[in-house]
Structure 1
């Protein structure tokens, strides 16, 4: 068993699910090795099945009829059937004074509720600045910014676009967006893995 497979087998999915319900993201420290072959594919295949269960719970809470299939290959087949053919860009390379504007990777009929984010260079050594930021937008309330603390080897599970939130009158849907603040020095190499496919074309970093 690879170190990544061992780490995945030890994850407490009950705790992860509760934290995703509460905050919309979770950071898993020291989960992966940078030199691991097939890292991105292994992360996506390892995380999809349990995250699909959480996603279906969210859809049930929000009274949405769609249910995500248990296998990533089946989900991708559904994406391709409606014209979502391309994998979204995975690598993000930002140099001094560059940043990633606030946005979502949420175009198409089928959008998976979660993405996986990590940094491939060391904060404070290879680059400064470049904080990963989530913005939660609730109806009739001020937006809530959240800095996602990522070190090299950490993995964050983040909300792609929307998540259920329990208010005083029951559950409603809140909007989530992500950004990367301006890099002050060095080069920030990172990845953002999307389980759904895109309607456009892929651009390499």
Structure 2
């Protein structure tokens, strides 16, 4: 699949509306089934990765993930480069609404230049693997002082066929209110864009900050793989 063309064909006006209203947006069929399968098959190719994390050792959950090394695989690099410019205006809109001075540049290259100037040099794209009983505890992927407030995950297996359970969970923490859980089950090849840390939400007295965390519920059968793409680099 031609990634730049595929990204252009999606309804970014609707995605922007969804992100502003809910903190997440789902874009269907961003990768083909064959592209998803190839990424899963490459999981055992250690030359592609800079680091492996066994989640139980750090109380992150139960499963394993691997961070890709630079240079990234072309499909990952193209996704990162072509989606970022669609999201930067949304992120800047949130900063404006919350009266924050932070401004995000127009291109991924400019964002990474800022990361590198602040000592954040390591790529953060990763692939996650869970077996039966696996899960991911609620967390945020910040990696340093410089972070972009949105990230994305692409689902590489088919729920109901390759695995059961394993729902993607977002927790929305509004000020002076109980937390809200959002449970999502995108299809194989779908891209989920969601809030890394916080978003701007409009209330009765103007805009306020809504903090969000994400995780994965327990896999009850089969195995589950996802591709995670974070736009900022890590220390």
Please, what TM-score do these two structures have when normalized by structure 2?
A: 0.80
Q: Which has the higher helix share?
A: 2
> What corresponds to 2:23 in structure 1?
24
- Secondary structure, counterpart of 1:102 in structure 2: strand
Task: Structure 2: state its 5+ residue gaps.
Answer: 36-72
The structure 2 residue matched to 1:84, chosen from 98, 120, 131, is: 120
Preserved contact between residue 152 and residue 229 of structure 2 (Cα < 8 Å) = yes
The structure 1 residue matched to 2:140, chosen from 97, 104, 109, is: 104
Task: Structure 1: state its 5+ residue gaps.
Answer: 200-205
> What corresponds to 2:89 in structure 1?
53
Preserved contact between residue 32 and residue 153 of structure 1 (Cα < 8 Å) = yes
Flag the structure with more relative contact order, 1 or 2, with Cα contacts below 8 A and sequence separation at least 6: 1
- Secondary structure, counterpart of 2:3 in structure 1: helix
1:67-146 matches, within 5 Å, as: 67-146=103-182
Please, what TM-score do these two structures have when normalized by structure 1?
A: 0.92
The structure 1 residue matched to 2:216, chosen from 176, 180, 191, is: 180
- Secondary structure, counterpart of 2:223 in structure 1: strand
CA positional deviation for 1:4? 2.9
CA positional deviation for 1:89? 4.8
Preserved contact between residue 33 and residue 189 of structure 2 (Cα < 8 Å) = yes
- Secondary structure, counterpart of 1:64 in structure 2: coil
CA positional deviation for 1:115? 0.6
Preserved contact between residue 27 and residue 148 of structure 1 (Cα < 8 Å) = no
CA-to-aligned-CA distance 1:48-100 (integer Å, 9 cap, x gap)? 11111111111111111121111111111111111112122511101111100
> What corresponds to 1:168 in structure 2?
204
Distance in 2 (alpha carbons) for counterparts of 1:170 and 1:161? 20
CA positional deviation for 1:163? 0.2
Distance in 2 (alpha carbons) for counterparts of 1:119 and 1:44? 16
Of the structure 1 ranges 84-93 and 146-155, higher mean CA displacement relative to structure 2 is found in 84-93
Preserved contact between residue 55 and residue 113 of structure 1 (Cα < 8 Å) = yes
1:11 matched to 2:7: no
CA positional deviation for 1:34? 4.4
Distance in 1 (alpha carbons) for counterparts of 2:143 and 2:176? 25
Distance in 1 (alpha carbons) for counterparts of 2:86 and 2:31? 18
